[in-house]
Amino acid sequence: MHHHDGKTYTSLKCLEVLPEPPAAPLNLQVAKTKGPVYNESRFSSATFTWRMPTLKFTGKPVRFIGSLVERSETNNASSYTWYTEVQEENQTVYNFTYDLFKPGQEYNVSICLEVTQVPAPSSPVMIVFRAPPDTSMLDRMKLWLTVKIPEESVGSTHAIVTFENNMPLWEITSPLYLALLVSERHCQRDPLPRTEIRNHTQSIQWPNTSTWFEASNMECVAQYQTSSEFWDPISRPFDVRTSFVIKYTIGQMQCSSSHDYCNGPLRPGTDYTVILMGIYCRWSHWKQLPKLESEQTEDIEMHQL
């Protein structure tokens, strides 16, 4: 404060104007993904790409700061931060690969830009990413699976699918539900195993299959589902130190058109392909099981693929 001629006035001070933070990175997206591979990795991996912002800003770009945060309601959600240095002025596209994602888990992925002469980084650009599920679990389940036809004097109308009791329980963690499907052979091509990304909602979108009633009225039985829609045979409480057995009978009851996923009888003397499908939040993935084959006799024989 200064006094002059009886008046009080305040001296002027220099006001420092901070430069604006840079624009946010552009086009953050998932370039490629890979699920767990049996005997190689229990985790999923993904490569992300993004672009340098095109708007001019104060200072030179120094580095990008990336963040992965698991979307979880528990307190032990994992997170990871990485830094990508900007080494060439003219480089516009950048990428980063992370290979420790939990299979099937959702993550918030964000990236911001740091530049010289500006203390604050850019605002982040963010996407939500779901890591690929562990579809290799179906390969492992095939190792402990058998399909048998009961020996009966009359033509067989059902088969027994067994997941043997030497299957390690800790191997089975990824799918939410399993499904068994049946498809007639010889009159059509065997269905090819496939992986599909379902829609992008949180709900389970069940893959389209014929009902037993629809399929059984066809001249050539199209692929239909025998297990119930939300079948989870491994959800019951168990002791991880012991082994267990899952048995499922294909063709164990008569069905009517009122049942969507009804397990009707097999046609005696008919060859079938049996398919095991794993259902995930946004994925379905299936593998062909050992084929059920017959020689127009009373019993259906099983031949390995």
Report the b/e string of 10-27 with b at 16+ CB within 10 A. eeeeeeeeeeebbbbbbe
| 52, 143 contact by CB (below 8 A) | no
pLDDT recorded at residue 2: 56
User: pLDDT tens string for the chain (305 positions)?
Assistant: 555 566 666 666 676 777 788 889 999 999 999 888 777 778 889 999 999 998 888 888 999 999 999 987 777 788 999 999 998 878 999 999 999 998 878 899 999 999 998 888 999 999 999 888 777 777 777 777 778 777 664 566 888 888 766 665 555 555 667 888 888 888 988 877 766 655 445 556 677 778 888 888 888 988 888 888 777 776 654 555 555 677 888 887 767 655 567 788 888 878 888 888 877 766 666 777 767 654 332 233 333 22
Cβ(47)–Cβ(96) below 8 Å:
yes
pTM for this predicted structure? 0.61
Count CB neighbours of 107 within 10 A.
24
Pairing of strands 7-9, 2-4: antiparallel
The pLDDT assigned to 300 comes to 34
pLDDT for res 8: 65
All structural domains of the chain, each given as residue ranges with its CATH number in brackets, are 26-132 (2.60.40.10), 136-288 (no CATH)
* Confidence at residue 282, expressed as pLDDT on a 0 to 100 scale: 63
